[in-house]
A and B are shown apart, each in its own frame.
Chain A
Amino acid sequence: MKNSTLIKGTAAIAVGAALLLGGGGTLAAWNAEANQAPGTIVAGDLNVVNATTAGVWKDRNNATIDITTYKVVPGDKLTYTQDLTVTLVGNKMAADISTTGITATNGFSSANVAVSAPALTVAGAAVANPLKPTGSAQTVTATITFEFLSGTAGRSDVTASYNFNNIAFQLTQVTQSGLS
């Protein structure tokens, strides 16, 4: 008798729970939603590349020469220019450009040659770091001069060679107000 009452009670609870589940809709109260469109965040850009595959060598008379075949003599002064294309995009973008300098393999007597460090210019004026976006790519020109001094005596440094190796130009973002 007790078992029968227990079974009946359990069945009644199960039926009640089923009714509650089936009538879930009755729990819905008012609700609303709104969509926001924060937009897309777009990253800026920072890059420096050689504007041309190879730079240009010119002699004292401003005539272009082929450095692979040209042989210098005392009194020669050669100029090397390499244009760099600098891309800067970003509202708070600013970057310094610099060079690692020349690490040459010098077969000349150091007293007989004068080699300038790479000079960086924009439109003929020395670079004023930091560079900032201008809306388009900027051209930075690196210039190096090599002079075989006319004071070279005797037969000093005939068939000598000065290898510039690689010269790196580094563009590095710098922090501005609003960045950390």
Chain B
Amino acid sequence: MRIKRTLQAAGLIAAAVMMGLLTVQGTYALWSATAVAAPGSVSSASFTVNLTATPSGQVTTMTLLDGRPANLALTPDAALLPGMSVYAGVVVTNSTDAGGTFNTVATAGQPAMANLSGGALSQYLSVSGKAAASAADCSAASGYAPLGASGLATPAVPKSGSTVICFQVTLSSSAPSTVKGQAVAITLPLTVRQLCGVPGGC
């Protein structure tokens, strides 16, 4: 008897739920329509900067495929004599595929010199730099300024444009003969950064 009543109650509840669901569902039965838009994909540009060394002729991208910064050897080939200078340069090319404005500026930082084979040549060397329009301008002695902590920044380089950073290494005329035949490794950090293209500032 108790089971029968339970079954009856369950049946009533189920019927009530069904009726309720049907009643609520009825309110959704109005017209509706849908339109679909596909805006597509937004892709970011590459930040590709190509470097060409003068006089070594070495060519590389500034960032290697594995993400590490490239090392570029300039290797000026002229012998350095007291009171004289040797010259080298780097052609920096903005090779981005950006869709809009993408100006860059290249900056050469303060040089670090290391004597090779226990020499003492570095203390008699000075490094200067200048920005130029072509690598051929590097061998012209005019326009060079010592590279300090603030480094040397180039003018803005637009897409597909290039600039040249020239370096001048001068051996002091007071260099003793004991440094003859010695060599120095000079390291110059080179940085390229995007210039702000937002009208209101970045």
**Which residues between 11 and 66 of chain B lie within 8 Å of chain A, taking CB atoms?**
27, 30-47, 63
B38 pairs with A73, CB closer than 8 A: no
- Render B87-121 as a binary contact track against A, CB cut-off 8 A, 1 for contact: 00000000011111010000000000000000000
Give the nearest-CB partner of B96 in chain A: A73
B202 pairs with A162, CB closer than 8 A: no
Given the complex of chains A and B, what is the CA–CA distance between A104 and B101 in angstroms? 26
Answer yes or no: A117 CB below 8 A from chain B CBs: no
B44 pairs with A57, CB closer than 8 A: no
Cβ-neighbour of A73 out of B31, B35, B40, B98 (below 8 A) = B98
Give the nearest-CB partner of A52 in chain B: B37
Q: Contacts of A75 on B, CB cut-off 8 Å?
A: 194, 196-198, 202
Answer yes or no: B199 CB below 8 A from chain A CBs: yes
Answer yes or no: A14 CB below 8 A from chain B CBs: no
A72 pairs with B30, CB closer than 8 A: no
B194 pairs with A167, CB closer than 8 A: no
Given the complex of chains A and B, what is the CA–CA distance between A75 and B42 in angstroms? 14
Interface size, B (range): 20 to 34
User: Given contacts A75-B202, A150-B198, is CB(A65)–CB(B99) below 8 Å?
Assistant: yes
A72 pairs with B39, CB closer than 8 A: no
Number of A-B residue pairs with CB-CB distance less than 8 Å in the complex they form? 145
Interface size on A, residues (CB 8 A): 54
B41 pairs with A50, CB closer than 8 A: no
**Interface-forming stretch among A2-10, A15-23, A27-35, A152-160?**
A152-160
Give the nearest-CB partner of A155 in chain B: B47
Given the complex of chains A and B, what is the CA–CA distance between A175 and B31 in angstroms? 10
A48 pairs with B39, CB closer than 8 A: no
A167 pairs with B46, CB closer than 8 A: no
B32 pairs with A46, CB closer than 8 A: yes
Answer yes or no: A84 CB below 8 A from chain B CBs: yes
A164 pairs with B38, CB closer than 8 A: yes
B42 pairs with A67, CB closer than 8 A: yes
**Which residues between 144 and 174 of chain A lie within 8 Å of chain B, taking CB atoms?**
144, 146, 148, 150-151, 155, 157-174
Q: Contacts of B32 on A, CB cut-off 8 Å?
A: 46, 95, 170-173
Which residues on B are within 8 Å of A, measured CB to CB? Answer: 27, 30-47, 63, 67, 96-100, 102, 194, 196-199, 202
9 nearest interchain CB pairs? A71-B45, A70-B99, A150-B202, A173-B30, A164-B39, A46-B31, A163-B41, A172-B32, A173-B31
15 extra interchain contacts, Cβ-Cβ under 8 A, other than A59-B100, A162-B41? A46-B32, A50-B35, A67-B39, A71-B45, A71-B96, A71-B97, A72-B43, A73-B44, A74-B194, A76-B197, A163-B40, A163-B41, A167-B36, A171-B35, A173-B30
